[in-house]
Structure formats: C-alpha cells, structure tokens
Amino acid sequence: MIPVWVQVVYLVAAVCFILALKGLSSPKTARRGNLIGAAGALVATAVVFFERPLGNIVPILIAVGLGAVLGAVGARRVQMTQMPQLVALFNGVGGGAAAIVAVAELHGFDREPAPSAVTTTAAAFTVVVGAVSFAGSLVTFAKLQGLMTTRPVVFPGLPVLFAATILTAIAAIVIAAVDPGLIPAIALAVLGLLAGVLLVLPVGGADVPIVISLLNAFTGLTVAAGGYVLGNVLLLIAGTLVGASGTLLTVMMARGMGRSVTSTLFGALRGGSTLGAGTASDRPVRSATAQDIAIMLGYASRVIIVPGYGLAVAQAQHALRELVDVLTERGIEVDYAIHPVAGRMPGHMNVLLAEAQVPYEQLVEMDDINPRFKHSDVVLVVGANDVVNPAAKTTPGAPIYGMPILKVDEAKQVVFMKRSMRPGFAGIENELLYDPKTTLLFGDAKETMDKLLSAVKAL
C-alpha cells in the first residue's frame, strides 16, 4: 500500500507536468514551464527513495548520478542546430528504459504466479513499442547528425519484411501475455528494434521531424503502459500526457508540412516519401553584393525576415537582430515570418531568435504573416528554402506538395541569403530562386549578414 503522503507528492508532481505542458504552449512562458516540469520530475524521482526500502541502493545512486551528469553536460554543450538530434536521443533513451523495465517484469512473472492477462499484455506491449522508439530514435539521430544519409534508404523486399516483423511482433505479444518469461521478452525486444529501424530507414528529408514527434508519442505510451504494470499512478499520468501531446504535435506537424500521418507511420510499406534529387543546379540566377541589398532594404517601407535552418547553422541570429534594430530605427516596419516547422522541429526558430533577444511581438506566425507579403517591399530569406518553395502549391508529386508555405513569392522583391545553390532538406529545386524579382546574396550567413549590417549602417 502506497503511503498517503507519497500519493500526495505524486499528485503534486503530476500537476507540475500539466502546468509544464501549459507553459510550453507559448514562447513567453516556455522557460517557466520547463523549470516547473523539471521540478516535478526531480520530486517524483526523489520520493521513490522514501516510498519503501530499496535494495541495490549503491548501483541505483551511481546510475542516477551518471545519467544526471551526462544529461547536464550534453544539454549544455549541444548547439541550437543540434537540438532536434538531442530530443531524438533523449526520447530514444526513455523508450529503451521503459522496454528494459518491462523485460525485467516479464522475466519476474515467470517465477511467480502470473498476474492478469491485461497486465502481461501491457508489459509485452511496453517491450515492443519501447524498443521501436529506441531503435527508431537512434536512426533519426543518425540521419540528423549526418552519420548516415538523410535520403530514404530502401531495398527490395523491405515492405514485406516490415509487415512480417509487425505481424510477428503482434503474435509474440499474445504468446508473452499467455506464457511470460525472459525468452519471450527478449524476442519481443529484438522484434521491436527491427521494426523501429525498418520504420525510419525509408523516411527522408522533411518527414524526419514528424517521425521524431511520432516516436515521442510512442515513448509516452510505453511509459503509461509501464506505469500500469508497476502500479505507479504517476508514470501512468506522465506517460499519458507525453503520449497525448506527442500525438497532437505529430498531427499538427503533419498538417503544417502537408503530410499524412498515416503515410508517415506506414512509409516503410511505400518506400519512403521524400525523394528529391538533392543536386545543385547550374541555371543562371541574379546575384548582388551586400551593398546592393543594403540599398534595397534602406529604401523599403515594409520588410519581412524569413529565418531558416541556415541561420541557425551559421549562428547569425545576433547580427540579424542588430540589422532589424537598425532598420526599425530608420522607420522601416520589420517582422519575422515564422513557419510552423522552420528549422528541424517546431519552435526551433522561436528559440533561436529568443536567444538573440528578439521581441516576441516581432515573431509572426504563418497564417498571420501570409496576407502581408503582397504589401511588403522586400522579403529577406535567411537560410530557408522548403518553407517558401512554390512547388508546394504548383508541382503535384513534389515531396513537399500540399505543404502550407510562407507566400514569399507575392512580395515585390525577394532576397535569398544562401551558401550555395544546393536545394533544401527536401532535396528539390526552388523555382523562386530564378524569378526575375529574386536576388541572391551568396556566402556564409554570418559573414554576409555582418557585411550587410555594415553596409546598412553606412547608408
């Protein structure tokens, strides 16, 4: 029987998790929400040591200390551009931990009177889905980190192998639920690992962030199921929150990218969904110097900035904010256009610009900024490509077709700051680059932004 005071502490921790999710819904309250969630997790972890006598206390403390050190060091050292990889890695570790606990429970069921079929089924489910989340998250980490190609990886017979793995895993869950033990548990884990790899390998380009969110929802489901198996209400609540929020985020991201959640989930059966060529074009474009672009900006009345992943890679957000400050002081109206999935994950650009002390009031979401493009004199696109590519509206069959985009093509003049003519993450050309009203400013975003800032100040 869990003591009343422990139940009260669990309730407080659960409330912290709910408040954390609420806080994370807005950039203004995200930091506070994150701290509240961390406090809830700390309390929930600490109370375990006082709930009942624990064995193997030294190994447990060593594991907790090691995990805390690795997590703190990793989170502090990671670059903003690598945040999606960190999220994928942490998510995978959570799924893997839930799977290991469930394996131990199934092994324990073999040595004592087995609990109800519902409990054994929940444990078997946790092993499979936790392993899927672990293996799939490692593959997404490798793709985003550049350890393997971001393009779809397919081979003959993959759909058949994937389907056979899923069906075998379902059969193994039934067997483990009826006759639990270590061998069935290990078999479930192996099948889950294989299914996770096969699920993510065929996914490429812009689908990767959706898969990260989907796997996050999977991890939440495993934690909730594990909480049911262990009789831990807090795990059940926390897992349900993560699973529900991850599912909603997946649906929202899919809508924001013009994707189908079903096609993403079963992408392995179709051989992937992002098949752009990914090669640079040698078609002629109009380019200019930083001084030329400075004149365009200096004589504009309305300017819209479209930040993208290239801005994050170059760490040019501070110079960009200073440029906007200079333009604003000259009476020029400037806004930032934020696409829901700019960068590699939702909120990536918001966090990047907040780091540079950009006022939240200048960050305008896609639905609100799109009507303003036709009234803007200059749109400055910094490191973005796919989120402004008209192919999403005009080219059926393109990997991004159907994705809502920022309507940059409606502006009077467009300036692209690009390192090269290589296409974006989806691997397809952007016809807007060849439009007569488009000018390109080539070079590293940080260096060219510094030159542009100096040129604007010199006007």
pLDDT of residue 268: 44
Kindly state whether residue 408 falls inside one of the protein's structural domains.
yes
pLDDT of residue 62: 92
pLDDT of residue 274: 47
The one catalytic residue among 386, 409, 435, 444: 386
Look at the pTM and tell me if it is higher than 0.85. no
pLDDT of residue 279: 55
Residue 264 sits in the same domain as residue 299: no
Assign 3-class secondary structure to 303-369.
EEEEECHHHHHHCCHHHHHHHHHHHHHCCCEEEEEECCCCCCCCCHHHHHHHHCCCCHHHEEEHHHH
Q: How many domains does the chain have?
A: 2
Mean pLDDT of 129-157: 86
For the sheet containing 413-418, what is the strand order?
Answer: 363-365, 333-338, 302-307, 378-382, 413-418, 438-442
Query: Nearest 5 degrees, angle CA 56-CA 59-CA 61?
Result: 105
Domain final residue pick, 206, 235, 269? 269
pLDDT of residue 266: 60
Residue 412 sits in the same domain as residue 335: yes
Whether 386 sits among the annotated catalytic residues: the reply is yes
Q: Residue 416 is encoded by which pair of tokens?
A: 């692209």
Kindly state whether residue 72 falls inside one of the protein's structural domains.
no
Residue 325 makes CB contacts below 8 A (sequence gap 6+) with none
Kindly state whether residue 21 falls inside one of the protein's structural domains.
no
How far apart are the C-alpha atoms of 211 and 273, rounded to whole Å? 12
Mean pLDDT of 447-455: 91
pLDDT per position as a tens digit, 33-85: 999 999 999 998 888 888 777 778 888 899 989 988 988 888 888 777 677 88
Residue 298 sits in the same domain as residue 238: no
> Of the ranges 64-73, 79-88, 324-333, 446-455, which one carries the lowest mean pLDDT score?
79-88
Residue 297 sits in the same domain as residue 264: no
Coil, strand or helix at 413: strand
Q: Residue 29's pLDDT band (boundaries 50, 70, 90)?
A: confident
Inter-residue contact 191 to 168 (CB < 8 Å) = yes
- In which domain, by residue range, is 157 found? 78-269
**pLDDT exceeds 70 at position 134:** yes
Which residue, among 228, 131, 117, has the nearest Cα to 187 in the 3D structure?
A: 131
Residue 257 sits in the same domain as residue 348: no
**pLDDT exceeds 60 at position 280:** no
Inter-residue contact 439 to 292 (CB < 8 Å) = yes
Distances, alpha carbon 42 to alpha carbons 7, 34, 48, 154, 181, in Å: 15, 12, 10, 42, 33
Residue 143 sits in the same domain as residue 221: yes
Kindly state whether residue 285 falls inside one of the protein's structural domains.
no
Q: Residue 133's pLDDT band (boundaries 50, 70, 90)?
A: very high
Kindly state whether residue 275 falls inside one of the protein's structural domains.
no
**pLDDT exceeds 70 at position 270:** no
- As a whole number, the mean pLDDT across the chain is 85
pLDDT of residue 426: 63
Residue 184 sits in the same domain as residue 255: yes
Kindly state whether residue 241 falls inside one of the protein's structural domains.
yes
pLDDT of residue 190: 96
End-to-end alpha carbon distance in the chain = 75
Kindly state whether residue 282 falls inside one of the protein's structural domains.
no
Using N-to-C axis directions, what is the helix angle for 208-230 and 233-256, rounded to 10°? 160
Kindly state whether residue 358 falls inside one of the protein's structural domains.
yes
Alpha helices, H only, 146-286:
158-178, 182-200, 208-230, 233-256, 261-265
